[in-house]
Amino acid sequence: MKFAYFPGCSLKGLGRAYEESLLPVMRHLGLELEELDDWNCCGATAYMAVDEAKACVLAARNLALAERSGRDQLLAPCAACYLVLNKTKHYFHDYPAMKATIDRALAAVDLAYAGDTAVRHPLDVLVNDVGLDAIRQKVVRPLRGLKVATYYGCQLVRPYATFDDPYNPVTMDRLVEALGATVVRYPLKTKCCGGSLTGTVPEAGIRMVYILLNEARKRGADCLATVCPLCQFNLDAYHAQVRSEYGDVIVPTVYFTQLMGLAFGLPEKQLGLHRAAVPLRWRPPVPEVAHA
Amino acid sequence: MNAPAQPPAAPPWTPRIVAFFCNWCTYTAADLAGVSRLKYAPNVRVIRLMCSGRVDPQFILEALRRGADGVLIGGCHPGDCHYVEGNYKMLRRFGLLQRMLADLGIPPARVRLEWISAAEGERVKAVINDMTRQLQALGPLDLPGKFADWDAEIADLAATLQTESAKEPEATHTWEPPKVLVQPQ
Amino acid sequence: MVSLKPEIRIGFYVCHCGHNIASMVDCADVAAYVGQLPGVVLARDYKYMCSDPGQELIQKDIAEFGLNRVVVASCSPLLHEHTFRAAVAAGGLNPFLFHMVNIREHASWVHTDRAAATAKAKVLARAAIRRAALARELPQRQIPINPGVLVVGGGIAGIHAALTLAEAGKHVWLIEREASIGGHMAKFDKTFPTLDCAACILTPKMSAVGAHPNITLWSHSDVVQVDGYVGNYTVKVRRRPRYVNEELCTGCQECIGNCIYKEPKFPDEFNEGLGKRKPIHIPFPQATPQVVLIDPQVCLNFKRGVLTDRCKKTCVEACGDRKAIDFTQKEETKEIQVGAIIVATGFKPFDVRRVPQYGYGTYPNVYTALEVERLVNASGPTAGEIVLRDGRRPSAIAIIHCVGSRDKKTNRWCSRVCCMYSMKLAHLLKEHSGAELYNFYIDIRAPGKGYEEFYDKLNEEGVHFIRGRVGEVTDWAMIPEEEGKLVIRVEDTLAGVVRRIPVDMVVLATGLEPHADAQAVRRLFNMSCGTEGFFLERHPKLAPVSTFTDGVYIAGCCQGPRDIPDTVAQAGAAAAEALALIDRGHILQEPNTAHVLADCSGCKSCLPLCPYTAIGFDEATHQAVINEALCKGCGTCVAACPSGSIGQHLFEDDEVFSEIEGLLTADPEPTPALAATP
């Protein structure tokens, strides 16, 4: 399977560990990712709030590039990119005025978008296209004993994803279980991570981070697994602030692709685990070699 | 014959669509659209038949010949036919007819088969509006007009041949510049 | 006027239908236009053609003007064709010399431009006039009606309909899918708003059904095939084996006590899985028929449904010389003949797992309303004590309204009964447990006799009502008081705040849905469904229990959510409609059958097309022969005949062609070829 790949800004910056772990895992499963040539900002977050039309035009340019690349599926690992690209696609189909704006803007740079590219998240592709059986076959170091709170955040399944339930997503749960880990029941799996609040209204943002970390700890999780670079950053980077406000609550947050890499036995250096402020120290037990 | 009265300024052209609706599903759905006061284009004229299986392809051709710009056939959804399988019979005929229409140069969008259940008043509205829009874009089919043109052309041709053969009984192999044909009296 | 021989004399009437037609179609203009068409002797517009004076007008005109064709432009023929045919017949004409034009449902109600609607009405009328000129006299055929009635579904609707018909002396077959009749009502504890005990008012009716000489009750059975037509249906019923002979079982239940399983072990369907039963069981004490049954999936003598003879068969010993237990019982298919059918198949409660945010299946103390009906019931699994799945007794209980109702993501409709049963359960739960009760609602809908008063009473009892659709039920505790509780997170839309309310028990007021197999049932009886899947009545106001198939009636929640009083009223109405049909003794059959013309070449193309095998082949004449008694009048063979040698009464080729021509002729030109067919 070949996909056009849209990394977005995070995966080249703060979320490098996501890309670092994603690429070898996908390669290991025989999936080819072809990074879009000359991609630009997806149009997420502040841009969308300031000028929706311009944000959609930005996203549409990426969709048009994907279409031109000849791939009919575009992989967007960052939950924010995934949301905006999907949103733009919906707007393009549902609102003629927005379509006209997009068409006009793209025409100015000799691009066109027909509206067919499927925007996919790696989680969806891994579980629904590759399949859990194929993934299980690649597991050489099962994550036996690791208790994981799966955390999806707000953007992945709401409102455009069709591959999971918006209130109670379970795709990552099934994936993590296939890796041999134990999933703890975590009722906050789609709550806000604090998002941009940590930068604008820090006391509200930090409180949200605390609630998420504290609930994961109370439920005995060794780590939180996430699908979004912003969630990972928020839950990882503010441990100090949480400590000064509420006391120590230390729970590492990893990308689900890092857990896959560990289970597949990929070299640790490839997985970017060391980049976290509070890195996951736990390692899967080395399987005993049967004596001849 | 009286001299024809001066025709009033012709209203803008809109398509005329003849519809054959089955009594049990689509005709009832059209009634439901009415009861629900849904609003749709006034371009469709419905003929009620008991089943879409009763739609003789000749009905469709006759409607087109008489000047319909499109024909819509409505039946029950597959598996729901009041008469078990009349709609399947229509479906099979429809495939054959579409091929024939294509050969006649009639675009397939002009003859449409739709499954509309008795509960789908909304769908009656949607299909009629959609088809009206499509035909409006395609423009008039005007088979009666075309027949008249063709008839005139053939009459013309026949007359010309008659004159030509009278003048030149034998074919020549030398090239001559085309001449202006003179209509016979 | 062109002279026609024999002269066609058409009377044309356009109906105003009050303002329904006249507001969008210029009726006088239509009449004036049609009046100058060939063959039209008179054209009138009139306020209400279907009224008595309207019908008398037609009759008078037939006599006075010697009309021999009548065309009425008004509403849908599906509504009033019968009416006008009868009027024409009363005027001395053959009723099939009448034709109807639909300018209400198909013109005035669906268009917004008066000129366009009027023009369309004229064109439709013109086509009808041309077609009417070709109409033939046809004989009216009478077919006797079988007086038996099939009632499908033994809930309160089916029970009431069956008893009404049986009391009127008709024979009724009552078919129930479950082992006992009673339906959902049998599971309820009390009924709102009077709080009378459901079992106390239902079980006498159930035993009356069981004992009535005019009712054949087949439970544990399914209707598998329906053939025929109004007045003469042939129905095949599959009787699934209960492994107990119904004739021999006395209902003593000694077998149950002596089952090899000393304790009940398997989830009890009647108690919504909250209680246990044995492999040999009776659904509930008042079950009708009072006959036990064996569940072959769990009985030791079977292995997942297959007979193995492994058990000691202590039940057989206990039954003794009654010899009612029969492990070899096989499925049987019975065939019955009836004249009318009442479908009362009920509803399915909404599957609450479709709203995962309410935690059913995740948190043990989240219940469906039907489970709570059993929980508060004195004969239920806890004898009416409110003991939770984890053994605790609740001190605070939340009832969430509109679960699976009024929600674009699940079902859009209001399920009509949930507000009232939620209040009833709130009252009962408070009475049984003394807990604090919180109702979370969108709107309180209490539009029945004594319903609003019941709401007032609940308010006075101190039950809390919080207006807002609950966001989620969670065990995520933010403060120590919430630890170990279920927390309701909701926006209180009256106070304008988001609340967190800790409770011990959550009741989901599940909405009502069509059965999962409603589509299959609909096909079986040739009915229609609305988009949501409930069976469609013939007319939402004027034919609420009839369907589009003559002789098939609907009652109860299979047609849409409703409470017990409405269900019983509707069941009575369906029984009355069925009675009116069968007491007539005969039906008039629409003479729209196909017939073979003299020039049939005997190609046999039509033979395999007929789904009713009505077409035979006469080897002597080498021509196809149509059995008009079997022909249902679809016309498929007519359209398919390569030589045009099959006709269809009421839908002859020349009639349809003339209608097409009438629809498309540009100007109203006289047509000299117009002549009546003998």
C-alpha A269/C-alpha C556 separation (Å) is: 67
Distances (CA, A) of A228 to A28, A121, A224, B17: 21, 11, 12, 54
Let me know the angle formed at the C-alpha of A97 by A92 and A102, rounded to the nearest 5 degrees.
Answer: 55
pLDDT at residue C665, rounded to an integer:
87
Buried b (16+ CB within 10 A) or exposed e, C345-356: bbbbbbebeebb
The domains of chain A are located at 2-120, 142-275
| C45 vs C4: which has the higher pLDDT | C45
> Quick check: A4 and A36 in contact, CB under 8 A?
yes
Place A90 in a pLDDT band, splitting at 50, 70 and 90.
Answer: very high
Is the previous residue joined to C6 through a cis bond, with omega within 30 degrees of 0?
yes
Shortest CB distance from C660 goes to which of B18, B86, B118? B18
B148 lies within 8 A of chain C by CB: no
Phi and psi, residue C553, nearest 5°: -120, 160
pLDDT exceeds cutoff 70 at C667: no
Name the architecture of domain A2-120: Up-down Bundle (1.20)
CA distance C31 to C54: 15
Query: If DSSP codes are grouped into helix, strand and coil, which group holds residue C19?
Result: coil
Which residues fall within 8 angstroms of residue C35, CB to CB, at 6 or more apart?
C12, C42, C43
A187 contact residues in C (CB cutoff 8 A): 472, 474-476
- Does the beta-carbon distance from C540 to B89 stay under 8 Å? no
**Looking at C344-492, which runs of residues are DSSP E strands?**
348-349, 366-368, 396-403, 436-441, 464-467, 470-474, 486-492
Give the distance from residue C569's alpha carbon to the nearest chain B alpha carbon, in angstroms: 25
Q: Is the pLDDT of residue C675 over 50?
A: no
CA angle C474, C475, C478 (to 5 degrees): 100
Please answer yes or no on whether C357 and A188 come within 8 Å at the CB atom. no
Residue A263 has pLDDT above 90, yes or no: yes
| CATH architecture for segment(s) B17-141 | 3-Layer(aba) Sandwich (3.40)
Q: Strands, DSSP E only, in chain A?
A: 2-5, 32-35, 73-75, 118-120, 147-151, 182-183, 223-226, 253-255
Amino acid of residue A125: V
- Position B170 scores a pLDDT of 57
pLDDT of the residue at C629: 81
DSSP A127: I
Condensed to tens digits (0 to 9), the pLDDT of residues C545-557 reads 999 888 999 999 9
The answer to whether B123 faces chain C, any CB pair under 8 Å, is: no
Any long-range contacts for A97-100 (C-beta under 8 Å, 24+ apart)? A98/A53, A98/A56
pLDDT of residue C232: 92
Write down the domain spans for chain B: 17-141, 145-181
Sort strands A32-35 and A2-5 into parallel, antiparallel or unpaired. Answer: parallel
The DSSP output letter for C51 is: S
The span from the CA of C99 to the CA of C114, in Å, is 24
Nearest to A167 among C356, C475, C476 (CB): C356
pLDDT digits (tens, 9 = 90+) for C131-170: 999 999 999 888 899 999 999 999 999 999 999 999 999 9
The contacts of residue C506 (CB under 8 Å, 6+ apart) are: C358, C359, C363, C365, C366, C367, C397, C398, C399, C400, C473, C486, C488
**DSSP for B104-125, written as a single string:** TT--GGGEEEEE--TT-HHHHH
**Is residue C234 within 8 Å of C335, Cβ to Cβ?**
yes
Nearest CB to C664: which of B68, B85, B89?
B68
Q: Which residues of C touch A (CB under 8 A)?
A: 355-357, 362, 472, 474-476, 478
Average pLDDT estimate for C294-298: 95
Residue A164 has pLDDT above 90, yes or no: yes
What average pLDDT does the segment A118-130 reach?
96
Of the residues B20, B22, B26, B48, the best mutation for testing chain C's interface (the one with the most C CB atoms within 10 Å of its CB) is: B48
Distance CA C563, CA B42 (A): 42
Asked if domains A2-120 and A142-275 share a fold, the reply is no
CB contact under 8 A, C472 and A167: yes
Nearest chain C Cα distance for residue A167, angstroms: 6
Written as one letter, the residue type at A133 is: D
Q: What integer pLDDT is reported at residue B161 of this predicted model?
A: 87
pLDDT reported for residue C532: 87
pLDDT-derived band at C673 (thresholds 50, 70, 90) equals very low
Please report residues of C whose CB lies closer than 8 A to that of B46.
Answer: 102, 106
Indicate the average pLDDT of chain C: 94
Note the pLDDT of residue A33: 95
| DSSP label of C251 | S
CATH 3.20.20.70 fits A142-275, yes or no: no
pTM to 2 decimal places: 0.83
Secondary element (H or E) of residue C239: strand C232-239
Place of tokens 């939180």: A224
Q: Is B130 on the interface with C (CB under 8 A)?
A: no
Quote the pLDDT of residue B6. 57
Give Rg (Cα) of chain C: 32
In whole angstroms, give the CA distance from residue C170 to residue C161.
11
pLDDT of residue B168: 59
C-alpha–C-alpha distance, residues A222 and A33, integer Å: 31
Q: pLDDT tens across B112-153, in order? A: 999 999 889 999 999 999 999 999 999 999 999 999 999 999
Q: Mean pLDDT, chain A, as a whole number? A: 94
DSSP letter assigned to residue A59: H
**What was the pLDDT predicted at B7?**
55
Which tens digits make up the pLDDT trace of C441-466?
999 999 999 999 999 999 999 999 99
Name the β-bridge partners of C149. C172, C340
Distance from CA of C549 to the nearest CA of B (A): 9
Task: Report the pLDDT averaged over residues A86-110.
Answer: 94
Question: With pLDDT > 70 as the criterion, what percentage of chain C qualifies?
Answer: 97
C245 is written with which tokens?
Answer: 């002979």
**pLDDT higher than threshold 80 for residue C177:** yes
C182 contacts: CB under 8 Å, gap ≥ 6: C154, C155, C159, C202, C203, C206, C284, C286, C287, C288
pLDDT for B179: 58
Identify the segments of chain B with pLDDT beneath 50. Answer: 1-2, 184-185
d(CA C560, CA C554): 10
Taking the CA atoms of residue A56, residue A59, residue A63 and residue A68 in that order, the dihedral angle to the nearest 10 degrees is 110
**Beta-bridge partners for B21:** B48, B74
The lowest-confidence range among A152-166, C127-141, C337-351 is A152-166
Residue C678 has pLDDT above 90, yes or no: no
Choose the closest CB to B51 out of C78, C529, C634.
C634
CA distance C424 to C418: 10
The Cα of C33 is separated from the nearest Cα of chain B by a number of Å equal to 17
Exposed e or buried b for every residue in C537-572, given b needs 16+ CB within 10 A?
A: bbeeeeebbbbbbbbbbbbbbbbbbbbbebbbebbb
Alpha-helical runs (H) found in C339-417: 369-375
Structure tokens given for C554: 């609907």
Size of interface A-C (CB pairs under 8 A): 15
